[in-house]
Amino acid sequence: MSESLTWRAGDHTLRFDDRTLVMGVINVTPDSFSDGGRFLDPERAVGAGIVMSTEGADLLDVGGESTRPGAIAVSPDEELDRVVPVIKRLAAELPGLPISVDTRKATVAEAAIDAGATIVNDVSAGRDPRMFEVVGASGVGMVLMHMRGDPDTMATMTEYVDVVQDVKEALRAWIGAAIEAGVTEDRLAVDPGLGFAKTADQSLTLMREIGRFAELGRPVVAGPSRKSFIGRATGTEVDDRVEGTAGAVAWLAAHGAHVVRVHDVRQMIRVVRMVDAIRRPSIEHP
């Protein structure tokens, strides 16, 4: 990891000089591929976020629209109704913890920021023409994730000349577009989009070469948690992929990812602490 790399997100400054950060996932949806319906009730979603915080999560990511393959888009109003109350409560309950909103819609991002979100995690990397404007004006952080098409079509858009190089160059172009639109570079992070318009083999290749994305000069976020390529590799269903996810997280933390986005925070905190202890034996341990 680069000892000088930082990521600014509102009033927060995240540093990556000694450890891998863990982002806990809270899907306030009925149809997400893994935990759909589990946190649709706002009280349960807030409670889950508080538990993740006590388990050691460095960030929380709240989403109100499923982006699993084949998912159908929801209206901005419905997405707002799902995420804004949860973000507002979490920001009040956990003032020291950066809260991210997982959305492709500038209107949702804007309301979430007003409610206390300090990061916009956009799986479409600013495809909404107002998204960069909203992020730039607010001073929050942003994750630019690589995806082709949308959740309903992305499974048919997996043709690449060189998946690593193609994804890397697309992310480079989107970094440039965000900066040109007024988002300062120190507020940007990148995500190669494991499973988004990628076959299982392509996702594994992106993981294998995760260190190449650090060449873009921005923090690298990766979300392998419970995804189908883990099921294919381990022969497990979505609710039985903790060990497979742990293997993926360990590899990513050891080979260049700065942030891992996961559902099972307690277990993955232990995984990255162990990996970080091996990589940097001088760090203090709990």
Q: Virtual CA dihedral for 171, 214, 57, 69, nearest 10 degrees?
A: 40
In this prediction, the residues of the chain whose per-residue pLDDT falls under 70 are 1-3, 31-40, 281-286
Output the pLDDT for position 89.
97
What burial class does residue 160 get, using C-beta atoms within 10 Å of its C-beta: 0-12 exposed, 13-18 middle, 19+ buried?
Answer: middle
Output the pLDDT for position 72.
75
**Rounded Cα gap, residues 191 and 218, in angstroms:** 10
By three-state DSSP, how is residue 73 classified?
coil
Output the pLDDT for position 280.
79
Output the pLDDT for position 282.
62
Tens-digit pLDDT profile for residues 233-256: 999 999 999 999 999 999 999 999
Output the pLDDT for position 33.
43
Indicate the pTM of the whole model: 0.93
Task: Supply the Cα-derived Rg of the chain in whole angstroms.
Answer: 17
Output the pLDDT for position 2.
46
Tens-digit pLDDT profile for residues 102-134: 999 999 999 999 999 999 999 999 999 999 999
Residues 6+ apart with CB under 8 A from 120: 100, 101, 103, 109, 112, 113, 131, 134, 135, 140, 141, 142, 143
Output the pLDDT for position 22.
98
Catalytic amino acids? 227, 261
- The number of beta carbons lying within 10 Å of the beta carbon of residue 56 is 16
* Superfamily (CATH) of domain 6-278: Dihydropteroate synthase-like (3.20.20.20)
